[in-house]
Structure 1
Amino acid sequence: MSLLLPDGNALRECILGIGGTGVVVRRGDVAIKLPLKYDITGHGEAQVKHLKACAGISSDSIQREEKVYRRLGPIDGVVRFLDQPGVGIHMAFMQNGSLVDYLRKYTPDRTIQLAWFWGMAYTRSHIHDRHVIVADIATRNFLLAADLSVKFSDFSESTLLPLHTDMETADDSGYSIYTDIGQLGSVMFEVVTGTPCKFDLYKDKPFEPVTATWPQREDLPETKDIWLGSIIERCWTKGTFQNARKLVEALDLVVLE
């Protein structure tokens, strides 16, 4: 099914990725996340209605995500938002692509891994300081800069909370700073072991709006004999880390042999 630019012209630019809420294209040194817009030529009435509804949802999502970027402002561990005119979210292009794709090709040493984890936790603490719950932390949503530093890059599922919110008690339909910590634990597990790991907040839930639920321990992999296993385990035990800064402090104590 053909994708179109917001102005209705055919999308012919280099596509970096397509997700449920948008398509990311490259224009020189800029990556632009555009709302999904489909060519409806030749489709039946029901299909056209569905595609238009999807396009509307995508457009709304892009607008919400742009508000998150504007709330966050410049943070070193977040892909740089470019305040440029036009439809979509303009970001600095990250030449090394996504973390999940990088891990399919390379096995980083522990020095790099620890630097990644520290950067993720430190950046997330600043994100929480700006009263944002990320909500979808996964290896596919981190990008790698030229120096291999990691950058948060997807806030399509994120929640903007009022600026007076107590983040340690905030809850948005089951999402909180603690689910962010739990998801980061799964990212750490995946990087350390090379095995995909999902912190599934909707396991066995019906396909309809429901409250996110903390996973059962038996639904997560064992951490006993892996590097940083005790820290990952604490990420998966709700409230063990009071906030993201406590995770940063734990990572500060890790000694590389």
Structure 2
Amino acid sequence: MTSIIANYLYLDGTVVREYIIGADGAGIVVNRGGYAVKIPRISKIIEIDGVPYNNGRLTPEEGDYDERVAAIRGFEREKAIYRRLGVYPGIIHCYNLVSDDPSIQMPLMTQYLAKSRPDRAT
């Protein structure tokens, strides 16, 4: 079985150095200045089967598929959904929904589940 190790990247190709709170299929959530900020999930392979891998580029070459474009579109759609939902109990408040920046800024909810357990019926 092949072993692959990758780093998460910002859209400009630099490696994410902020504390990563979590990840899903479309983004990673980092701790940034006391906020939880979801940014596009872009990764770069750095090692295959224990052998360092480096093609010399952190961003795709011109003409190659660029996953950043799809990631930005996905964030635009997600922000539009949060704008339509508005402020509603049970939905986390997002602060930068009208910004063109492909990120979603939310309150950093440390220990939220430990203090606010959902009802078993939920």
Normalising by the smaller structure, the TM-score range is: 0.5 to 0.7
1:91 corresponds, among 87, 106, 116, to 106
Count of residues in Structure 1 that have an aligned counterpart in Structure 2: 103
C-alpha separation in 2, matches of 1:26 and 1:9: 17
Distance 1:88 1:5, change over 3 A: same
Q: What residue identity is the alignment partner of 2:34?
A: D
2:8 corresponds, among 3, 6, 17, to 3
TM-score by structure 2 length? 0.65
* 1:57 positional shift: 2.8
C-alpha separation in 2, matches of 1:58 and 1:83: 17
Larger RCO: Structure 1 or Structure 2 (Cα < 8 Å, ≥ 6 residues apart)? 2
Q: Which has the larger radius of gyration?
A: 1
What SS does the corresponding residue of 1:68 show, helix, strand or coil? helix
What SS does the corresponding residue of 1:2 show, helix, strand or coil? strand
* 2:76–2:102 Cα contact (<8 Å) kept: no
Residue 86 of structure 2 is matched in structure 1 by: 73
Percent pairwise identity: 29
C-alpha separation in 1, matches of 2:81 and 2:21: 21
Distance 1:149 1:74, change over 3 A: farther
* 1:13 positional shift: 0.4
More strand by share: 2
More helix by share: 1
What SS does the corresponding residue of 1:81 show, helix, strand or coil? coil
Cα RMSD over matched residues?
A: 3.3
Q: Runs of at least 4 residues of structure 1 off by over 6 A?
A: none
Residue 131 of structure 1 is matched in structure 2 by: none
Residue 95 of structure 2 is matched in structure 1 by: 82
TM-score by structure 1 length? 0.34
Unpaired runs of 5+ in structure 2? 1-5, 46-53
Residues 168-218 of structure 1 show CA distances to partners (whole Å, capped at 9, x for unaligned) of: xxxxxxxxxxxxxxxxxxxx8xxx5xxxxxxxxxxxxxxxxxxxxxxxxxx
* 1:148 positional shift: 0.9
Residue 24 of structure 2 is matched in structure 1 by: 19
What SS does the corresponding residue of 2:43 show, helix, strand or coil? coil
